Amino acid sequence: MPRTEFSQPAKETLARRVAYHCSNPTCRALTCGPHSEPSRFVNIGVASHITAASPGGPRFEPSLTRFERASTDKGIWLCQSCAKLIDSDTTQYTVSALAEWRVLAEQRTTRELAGIPGSEFFPQAASETHTPIPRIAHLTYDEARELLVSSGWQPCLSHWSHGSNFDMQYGNGQYFWNKGYHEIRHASGTGLAMCSFGFQDVYGHRLVVVTAGEVVEEMNANAVVWRWYFESNDGDA
């Protein structure tokens, strides 16, 4: 079976969907720029295969047709070094992990395109001694949690018995608890269906994130981040 390569238009689509940045969330290197000759440009990006181009390759899926294998949703734009990395360790860099990188990279590009500033963090005073808080306003709780955790905020997990509390039995409470988000503290079944979640940083600061909205998967309804605040160390509000 021959290798299934991406077409040139498919490669360009993959690159442009992430504005020519590497899609590895911890790399994000820019992959193109000007050449010293005015009519040329330098490209160090690669349209990598989420599922391998030929049998025996990394993450090969025999069930795919040639057409499916060459479609853009089986590709991810990476810098050369990350492209090498993902093919060198397929245990860590699985199909689902790479698909998640792609989604995150495209979401970030969408936010940047919409004029939301490139930094994912609120401006932080240099004297601050807490872990930076990423921009989480109006994100779904899944997205906000991902950003908080990758920024260094650690979910404060409740004791397993918390799952048998009344507000964890229904609606959002049950949904988030069953998802393994055991940092959930309270879930309100009425009004804006607010839920609160607890996080902690290495300095011992406690951050409370509050979402509003009912999660109804069939309706694509989601809980989104409504507000957040530091909790004082002597209170337990």
Binding residues for Zn ion (CB under 5 A): 22, 24, 27, 29, 79, 82
Residue showing tokens 């530091």: 230
Distance CA 234, CA 237 (A): 9
Whether residue 44 contacts residue 110, with contact meaning beta carbons closer than 8 Å, is answered with no
Residue pair 155/183 in contact (Cβ under 8 Å)? The answer is yes
CB of 9 to Zn ion, least distance (A): 23
Smallest distance, Zn ion to C-beta of residue 44, A: 9
Report the nearest approach of Zn ion to the CB of residue 87 (Å): 13
Q: How far is the CB of 95 from Zn ion (least distance, A)?
A: 18
C-beta of 82 vs 147, nearer to Zn ion: 82
- Least distance in Å: CB of 24 to Zn ion? 4
Task: State the Cα–Cα distance between residues 131 and 161, nearest whole angstrom.
Answer: 29
- Nearest distance from C-beta of residue 80 to Zn ion, angstroms: 8
44 SS3 class: coil
Distance CA 86, CA 92 (A): 8
Distance separating alpha carbons of residues 148 and 167, to the nearest angstrom: 24
Of 66 and 84, CB closest to Zn ion: 84
* Structure-block tokens of residue 52: 């391998």
CA 178 vs CA 16, 45, 83, 154, 169: distances in Å: 37, 40, 35, 19, 10
Contacts 24+ apart (CB under 8 A), 111-114: 112/19, 113/19
> Smaller CB distance to Zn ion: residue 79 or 208?
79
Q: Nearer to Zn ion by C-beta: 29 or 224?
A: 29
**CB closer to Zn ion, 78 vs 223:** 78
Cβ 209 vs Cβ 225: under 8 Å: yes
Which is closer to Zn ion, CB of 44 or CB of 156?
44
Q: What whole-number distance in Å separates Cα of residue 210 and Cα of residue 195?
A: 6
